[in-house]
Every structure is written in structure tokens, then in C-alpha cells.
Amino acid sequence: MAFGKKKSGEAVDPLANTPLNNIMDEVVDLKEQPIPEGHHLLEVDDLHMFFHTKDGVVKAVNGVSYTLDRGETLGVVGESGSGKSVTAMTIMGLIDMPPGKIEGGDVLYRGRSLLQMSEREMQNVRGNDIAMIFQDPMTALNPVYRVGDQIGEPLRIHRGYSKKDAVDRAAELLSMVGIPNAEQRVREYPHEFSGGMRQRAMIAMALACDPDILIADEPTTALDVTIQAQIIELMQEMQKQNGNAIIMITHDLGVVADIADKIMVMYAGNPVEFGTADDIFYNPIHPYTWGLMRSIPEQVTDEKKPLTPIKGNPPSLVTLPKGCSFSPRCPYATDLCRNQVPLTYTLPDGHYSKCHYALDPDFIKGRAPENSRTYAGGNPRVVVDEPAGAPVAGMAKQAPGTVTAVDGALAQHDTKAASAEEGEE
Amino acid sequence: MPETSTVADAITYTPDTPLTAEEKAKLEPSQRGNDPLLHVEHLVKEFPVSSSIFRRNSKRAVHAVNDVSFDIYPEETFGLVGESGCGKSTTGRCLMRLINPTSGTVVFNGEDVSDMKGKELKNLRHDMQYVFQDPYASLNPRMTIGELISEPMYIHNEGGTPEQRIDTVRELLKVVGLNPEHINRYPHEFSGGQRQRIGIARAFALHPKLIICDEPVSALDVSIQAQVLNLLDELQQEFGTAYLFIAHDLSVVQHISDRVAVMYLGSICEMSDWRSLYAEPCHPYSQALLSAVPVADPDLQRSRERIILAGDPPSPIDPPSGCLFHTRCPIAQEICSQEKPELREIEPGHLCACHFAKPFPIEGSSIKL
Ligand SMILES: Nc1ncnc2c1ncn2[C@@H]1O[C@H](COP(=O)(O)OP(=O)(O)O)[C@@H](O)[C@H]1O
Ligand SMILES: Nc1ncnc2c1ncn2[C@@H]1O[C@H](COP(=O)(O)OP(=O)(O)O)[C@@H](O)[C@H]1O
Ligand code: SF4
Ligand code: SF4
Ligand SMILES: [Mg+2]
Ligand SMILES: [Mg+2]
């Protein structure tokens, strides 16, 4: 672990070591603190945050756990309303409490609990240590201020830059993120920027203080694919230079395949599966992850494969189904699933899944979708010492329409469920 | 119309002996020897720029659709793909005369729609329906879904007695996967995907020959998107409806379309059957667009070479001279800013508007799927 020593002497940030930098001396610069032994840069541990509304309790963050180190990128995927943004905003201390309330768990940044910090401390963390960019840059950019003043603002707040120095630095940052004529552009207003340029300006603003962690909430969702490709490349380049960690929130499995080292799949406020990108794409063990993969059109040039959607709609976070929250839509749900909330089952390498059958290789084999590695020659789907690539039986793979397991397979599975109920835990 | 024969007739297939119905069904819809259902030729749509910052009698205009020609055959899905603002919706709206084209010809079902008025226009909108991206904005919130779906039958005085119409609505609700019991509910009581199903049920109420689907799944989550795409597929099989499927998502367009046209800045730059376009894009823009779509497969994504286009698309108010793409094209030559490349046939049924058209024109970067 590199302990995230900031390379501030480099051309990236020529002003970082000037005396101006010490104006904020009474506040500890957290990102300069070493990460305590046994800790990660960011540790989210069984975080629960519910909204208490007049319509009931919205269980928006319902047991989220992951760790993140410098230089790493975590992809957070899931359908809209699954709690991706609210999780990020809880970490950033941006949720109004009430109606929000932390119901359990913790968030440790360099070993220190963000949840215990005062609002004043959090203000210093935001922008300086952890920065966030949003889907719609217009919500974060103020239309009546010049772009340069806005990008320079975190430098004035966190680093004590003068107004002029901040604007000069803003121009450097803008040209760094690929905006031509940056010296003139800093004097323009947000509406004079195109969508892609606004997102670049947001990235420049987020990176102004060289944060440890960049949280990007659907930064490319509103952009066209050619502009999306530019922005993703920019984020990756900046990460290479600065060594920061990235949390990339998106609903697009293609984007996470492109950029993420680790992936968390969220469903109904809950991470249902977490693992490396390879785990999630080539060895997924949760039926919701399978459903997502079968729903996206594959790029092919031979035979088109029918899509297999997930039937039904996501549940309301106020009245979550009993048992596994995916059970009403899961083609493999059993009585066990409908009655008991599955535990988190973690494989030795940290890959985890919240499904009663996560550790049952027979369940997974034959139900998980094919992928380019299994096509290429059979790769065992789960840590089992069985011959790889055995043809799949039981379920009509790639069948059109909604997945419904063949009766026999379901029945067989039911008996297994019963034994699992006795045997497991 | 001699000068367009290349475009219009490129895909027409003329067998020596008449085909049996069975043989015909196996062919792509465009190759069955049927006349096109929709014939679009030199379609142009300009919106005058009325902003006060321009001189009042200036001739400036948004060149939203710039000389677009294509055909759609019965039972075919024709995909129109391109980035936002490239003129896809404007094209769709001109076809149905929701707006009037500046110039060009649109022939639907053998009839020129350009001068249609009153009753003829009403008939046109009987056989051609529009499904919008945002079902919420396009469905009147004060009407129940029963009223919404039966409205076209009332407008066109079809569907028999009110009771028979209600039966039809219930049937349609079942077909699109909604509960017929919910006939008296309002749009806000449904999720995004369900509202899109309502929009589709309404579009199918009169069994139209062509439905213009304008980004019908763009606002939906992937699992719901897959439900709606499958539904459109099933309905097409059942009713033989042709679709103009507009989208910015290349994978979705590939999945649903028989033929695809790629648009840039109001013009078609490449058009072919879905397979050739994705296997061998011949226009630099198509190639760049395909390479920019991230695929849900990290191995593939890592091994792919990517073309990152610089900058933003130019303004349609001042489109570039010569080839519209030359300001961003990685292989542009001098001729490109001077001479406009014609949309020409480079292989049977594969048309491309580039002076240097060939498979994977941007060297050193082939997108292998
Ligand atoms: N201030 C709030 N009060 C009550 N519920 C909220 C509030 N903000 C968000 N929610 C709910 O929390 C859930 C998760 O939302 P969000 O994190 O935005 O989802 P995602 O980003 O995955 O689309 C949603 O059901 C949303 O309606
Ligand atoms: N009513 C209108 N008045 C002026 N300009 C318009 C109008 N409708 C569309 N445009 C412009 O025409 C171009 C094409 O728009 P549109 O057809 O909606 O693109 P797409 O559907 O491909 O995103 C855009 O530049 C858009 O701003
Ligand atoms: S616990 Fe049961 S219902 Fe939930 S995902 Fe696993 S198999 Fe499906
Ligand atoms: S004509 Fe020239 S500028 Fe246009 S796409 Fe072809 S090579 Fe590029
Ligand atoms: Mg969100
Ligand atoms: Mg549009």
C-alpha cells in the first residue's frame, strides 16, 4: 500500500507547496495522514441509512459493505432507485438528517469514521479529500458565476488561494481536462459550454484539490457515446497521474466493464453481489446479476440472441418483500427465499453474494449465463473442483421471453433448498 | 427521380421465378420483392433561427435534416441511429407530417404525403403511429389508460360499439403485458416501463402499418428495456407492423433492426443491413461510434483498440463544408473539406457517404466483436 503520498511537486500542481497552502493549518489535512495498519483507504461497513417519511420508512441503504484503496476503481451498478446515489451521498454527509437517519454500520476514511465527524470537519473532507461529480453538471455549476471562479472555489476554500491564483489554476486545470483556449474559457458562463465540456469542467473542479477519492455519479449518462468515451478516458488518465480512487456509479454494465477493478451490484438498497470485475462478469453468482446480463443486447455479427428480461418491477423500498428482496422476480426463488433474508456469503477471495445458494456450485452451474470465457473453452463458474465447461442442462439457455426454470430443475432445487435450510449456517 | 435510383433501388431483389410465401418469409423483409412501404427522398428540414442576436432578415437556419433518403419495407425494422441533435426525431416527425418538411418527398403506402390535408392526413395517421421516448409527457395525465388506448378508435370512428372498444382495450392491455383490470387507472399509477407499454398499446390500437418508435427504451432500466424490446418484437411478428426505430444506443438498434442507417449532423453517412454495418463499418464515423460503445465484457474491452473522437459535433446552424464529418474525422484529407461525398453503394445494399469508404477505414483500429 502506497499510503497515498501526494506527488505534489509534479507539474500537476505547481502551487501546492506554496505558503498559501498552510492557511488552513488548524484543520488536519486528512489525505496526508497515513492509513492505519489493517485499514483501507475507504471502508464502508454494513452501512444502513433509512429515510423516515410520512409514507413510511424508505430503506434506501440497507447493508452496504466494501473497501477501496488508492488507484482502484469501484463500479456501482444497479437499476434506478436501487440506492446508488443515496449511498454515495450518505458517505459524503450530504443527506439531510432528518428525514435520513443512520441505522447502523460505519464509513471509515483512512481509519477515521466519517459518520462521527462534525459538519465542519466534513466540509473540509468534501472537495478536498473526497470529491463528487454528478450526472447533470448544471445542477452543480451555478449559472450566474463564471466557470473559472467556480473551479477555483475549492482552492480558495481548502487551500487559501487568492482569487487571481485560483482562476489561473482553474485555467490550467481546464486545459488539463482538454478544453481548448482555457484562458478565455475560464471567463465564460456554464451555458456557453457544451454538455461534454461542462462535465470536463466538473472533473477539473473535482480534481482541483487532488482528492483521494473521486465519486462520479452517472457522469456520462446524459452524454453521447463519443463524448462518454472522452470523459472515461479523461478520468482514467487523471487517475493514473494522481493515484486517486474512483467510485463510478452507473447503470451501464459496459461502462463498469470498461473502467472498474471491483464491482458492487445493488438491488433495492442492498449490494447483492460484490467482487472483482472478473468475478462479476465471468463468475457471477447472484441471480440478479445474471438477469442484468441476460437483459443487455450482446454485440454480435452472426446470430442475434434473444433477450431474457427480468420479469416484473423492482420493489418499493418502503415495503420490501419478505425474505430475499429479489424473490418476487427471481426465477429460482424457493420457499426459503420467500421467508428468510439471505446472509452475505463470502468466497475466500472476498467475492460475496447475498443469495441463499451463493455457495452451491450445482445451483450456479447451469443457471449463470454464458460469457465470452465460457464460450471460449469452459471456465469453472465457481470455486469447485469439477470438470469445467460441462454442458448446461435444466434451463433453456437464451430462451426468448422471461426466464423460467424448467420444472424438473426447479423441483430438484426445492429439495436442495430444504436441505440447505437445515444444513447451512 | 433518376438521380436517386441508387439509393431507392439498391436493396430491391428481383428473383427470376416468383417465390413461394415460405421462401419469401425466410428472406430479409427488404429482399422479398415487395414495394417499399415508405419511400423518403431528399428530405430536408430547416428551422429558421429566430433568435434576436441574429439580424432579423438573416437567412440563418438550423439544418436539422439535410437531404435524407431511405426506404422502409413492410414488416421491416429500420433503425435510425446517431447522437443527440443529429436529426432523428425531426426526420420521424416529418414522415408523419407532425411538422412540415422544407423539401423532399415522402411516399407512404404509394401515396405522397407532402400535400396531404384533412381527411388524407387523418388516414395517414391511422396507418402510421408514433411512440415517444417519454411516455409520461406524451400521455394525457387526466385520461384513464382505457380512454387513452381507445382514443384513436374514437378519433377514427372504428372499433364498433363502446363495449366492443373496451373489449379491444382489454385485449390490447393483455397483449402488452398489463393487467386488464387496471383499465380505469391513470398514467401516474404506472412505472416508466408500464407507461411505455401503454404508449405501445395505444399505437397498436388501429393496427397501423408503420410505427415510428422514437427512443422508446432510452429512459428505461436495462431489465425493463429488454421487456419492451421483446414486446415490440412479438407484436411485429403477430401484426406484421414495420418499425422506424430511432435510438442513440447502437447495441439496442443492432438487436432490433433489420437494416440500420447512421446519421450525423442531419445526413445519413452509412446504411446497410445490421450485420454488415456492425461487422464491417465503412464510414469513419460509424467505426468510431461502434468503437466508443463500451461492451459488458472486460476481456474484450481491454483488447479493443478505441477511437476517441476529438471535440463536439459542429453546430447544425453552420454545418462544415464538404463532408459534414471532416472537422472530427481522423482520416480527413484535403478533398473532404471541399467536396461533399455522395451516399453511394459500395456493396449490394451497403451505402456509405465517404470519399475513402472501405471496411474499417480508420487504420490500425478494427473493432472485432
Ligand atoms: N430525500 C429522500 N426522501 C425519501 N426517499 C428518498 C430521498 N432521496 C432518495 N430517496 C429514495 O431512495 C431510493 C434510492 O434512491 P437513489 O439512491 O437516488 O437511487 P439510484 O441512484 O440507484 O437511482 C429511492 O427509492 C428514492 O426514492
Ligand atoms: N422546433 C425546432 N426549432 C428549432 N430547432 C429545432 C427544432 N426541433 C429540433 N431542432 C434542432 O434540430 C436539430 C435536430 O434535432 P432532433 O431531430 O430533435 O435530433 P435527435 O432526435 O437526433 O436528437 C437539433 O439541432 C435541434 O436543436
Ligand atoms: S435468495 Fe433465492 S430469491 Fe434471492 S436471489 Fe437467491 S435464489 Fe433468488
Ligand atoms: S469523406 Fe473524408 S472527412 Fe468525410 S468521413 Fe470520409 S474521410 Fe472522413
Ligand atoms: Mg442515482
Ligand atoms: Mg430525438
Position B6 scores a pLDDT of 44
Closest approach of A357 to chain B, Cα-based (Å): 22
Residues B108-152: tens digit of each pLDDT: 999 999 889 889 999 999 999 999 887 677 888 899 999 999 999
Name the residue at shortest CA distance from atom 1 of ligand 4.
B354
Position B18 scores a pLDDT of 66
Position B305 scores a pLDDT of 80
Higher per-residue confidence, B291 vs A421: B291
Position A293 scores a pLDDT of 93
The finding on whether A215 has its CB within 6 A of some atom of ligand 1 is no
Contact check, Cβ <8 Å, B255/A253: no
Closest approach of B275 to chain A, Cα-based (Å): 5
Cα(B226) to ligand 1 centroid in Å equals 24
Cα(A80) to ligand 1 centroid in Å equals 9
C-alpha grid cell, residue A254: 459496459
Closest to A280 measured CA to CA, from A388, A373, A342: A373
Give A265's strand partners.
Answer: A77, A273
Residues A65-101: tens digit of each pLDDT: 999 999 999 999 998 889 999 999 999 999 998 999 9
* DSSP symbol at A250: E
The finding on whether A61 has its CB within 6 A of some atom of ligand 1 is no
> For residues B189 and A182, what is the distance between their CA atoms, to the nearest angstrom?
48
Position B310 scores a pLDDT of 84
The finding on whether A98 has its CB within 6 A of some atom of ligand 1 is no
Please enumerate residues of B whose Cβ is less than 8 A from a Cβ of A.
83-84, 191, 193-194, 221-227, 229-230, 248, 250-252, 254-255, 275, 278-279, 288-289, 291-301, 306, 308-310, 312, 369
Mean pLDDT of chain A: 81
Position B11 scores a pLDDT of 46
Chain A residues touching residue B299 (CB < 8 angstroms)? 282, 372-373
Contact check, Cβ <8 Å, A297/B278: no
> For residues A271 and B87, what is the distance between their CA atoms, to the nearest angstrom?
40
> For residues B340 and B358, what is the distance between their CA atoms, to the nearest angstrom?
17
- A37: pLDDT strictly greater than 80: yes
- A31: pLDDT strictly greater than 70: yes
A152-161, A394-403, B277-286, B359-368 — which one is most confidently predicted on average?
Answer: B277-286
Cα(B336) to ligand 5 centroid in Å equals 43
pTM over cut 0.95: no
Position A206 scores a pLDDT of 87
Cα(A78) to ligand 1 centroid in Å equals 13
Position B368 scores a pLDDT of 42
Contact check, Cβ <8 Å, A292/B222: yes
- A373: pLDDT strictly greater than 90: no
Of A16-20, A107-111, B226-230, B276-280, least confident by mean pLDDT is: A16-20
Position B1 scores a pLDDT of 39
Give whole-number Cα distances, B130 to A387, B49, B99, B196, B256, in Å. 52, 27, 13, 12, 17
Residues A191-244: tens digit of each pLDDT: 888 888 888 888 888 888 889 999 999 988 878 888 888 889 889 988 998 899
Count CB atoms within 10 A of the CB of residue A256. Answer: 29
Across A261-272, average pLDDT: 96
Across A144-149, average pLDDT: 92
Residues B159-179: tens digit of each pLDDT: 889 999 999 999 899 888 888
Please say whether the beta carbons of B284 and B358 come within 8 A.
Answer: no
- A364: pLDDT strictly greater than 60: yes
* DSSP symbol at A249: E
Position B185 scores a pLDDT of 92
> For residues A383 and A386, what is the distance between their CA atoms, to the nearest angstrom?
9
C-alpha grid cell, residue B25: 418469409
Across A312-337, average pLDDT: 93
Please give the single-letter amino acid code of residue A274.
Answer: F
Confidence at A331, pLDDT banded by 50, 70, 90:
very high
In total, chain B counts a number of residues equal to 369
Contact check, Cβ <8 Å, B223/A300: no
Position B57 scores a pLDDT of 56
Ion ligand 5: residues, Cβ under 5 Å: A 85
Residues of chain B under the 70 pLDDT cut: 1-19, 51-58, 135, 364-369
The closest CB to that of A372, out of B191, B291, B297, belongs to B297
Position A159 scores a pLDDT of 84
Position B167 scores a pLDDT of 93
Higher per-residue confidence, A405 vs A11: A11
Confidence at A386, pLDDT banded by 50, 70, 90:
very low
